[in-house]
């Protein structure tokens, strides 16, 4: 049975808890946390990213997150807390669901980059 984007978003939002920028900063402060920016490269280049975040566009996420592949990014480990964000939270939710399906346990959606920036979260400019 084919799924609509609405259905995919409902499943992703049910599986991946949404957190505030303040909650994300608390998790980051505890350590063993990976922050992932799943936006496309032009978005990151124009606005910067969360300080310390790893940029992996949503289209490459599976290939970076799977330790069995030669394209695996060593920042990804299933024992880490993973916090994802994008432009407004939709891609982060879908990416989070994907990581949960791949066996990542602690996965959170921090919403949009704008929310982080407006809350005073630290940013790295390109």
pLDDT in tens, 9-37: 999 999 999 999 999 999 999 999 999 99
The whole-number pLDDT of residue 100 equals: 97
Size (the chain), residues: 126
Nearest Cα residue to 12 out of 91, 105, 112, 103: 91
The whole-number pLDDT of residue 122 equals: 95
Domain 15-124, CATH class in plain words: alpha beta
Going from the C-alpha of 8 to that of each of 16, 18, 86, 89, the distances in angstroms are 12, 16, 17, 13
pLDDT in tens, 50-91: 999 999 999 999 999 999 999 999 999 999 999 999 999 999
Domain boundaries, the chain: 15-124
The whole-number pLDDT of residue 126 equals: 80
Residue 96 pLDDT level (bands cut at 50, 70, 90): very high
* pTM as predicted: 0.95
**Separation of alpha carbons 46 and 48, rounded Å:** 6
Q: Is the pLDDT of residue 41 over 90?
A: yes
Cα-based torsion angle of the residue sequence 57, 106, 111, 15 in order, rounded to the nearest 10 degrees: 100
The whole-number pLDDT of residue 1 equals: 80
Residue 93 pLDDT level (bands cut at 50, 70, 90): very high
């Amino acid at each position: 049975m084919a799924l609509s984007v609405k259905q995919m978003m409902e499943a992703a939002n049910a599986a991946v808890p949404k957190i505030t920028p303040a909650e994300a900063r608390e998790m980051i402060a505890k350590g063993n946390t990976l922050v992932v920016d799943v936006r496309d490269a032009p978005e990151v280049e124009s606005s910067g990213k969360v300080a310390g975040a790893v940029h992996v566009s949503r289209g490459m996420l599976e290939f970076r997150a799977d330790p069995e592949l030669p394209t695996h990014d060593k920042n990804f480990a299933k024992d880490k807390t993973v916090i994802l964000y994008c432009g407004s939270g939709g891609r982060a939710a879908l990416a989070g669901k994907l990581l949960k399906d791949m066996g990542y346990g602690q996965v959170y959606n921090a919403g949009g980059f704008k929310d982080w920036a407006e809350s005073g979260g630290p940013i790295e400019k390109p």
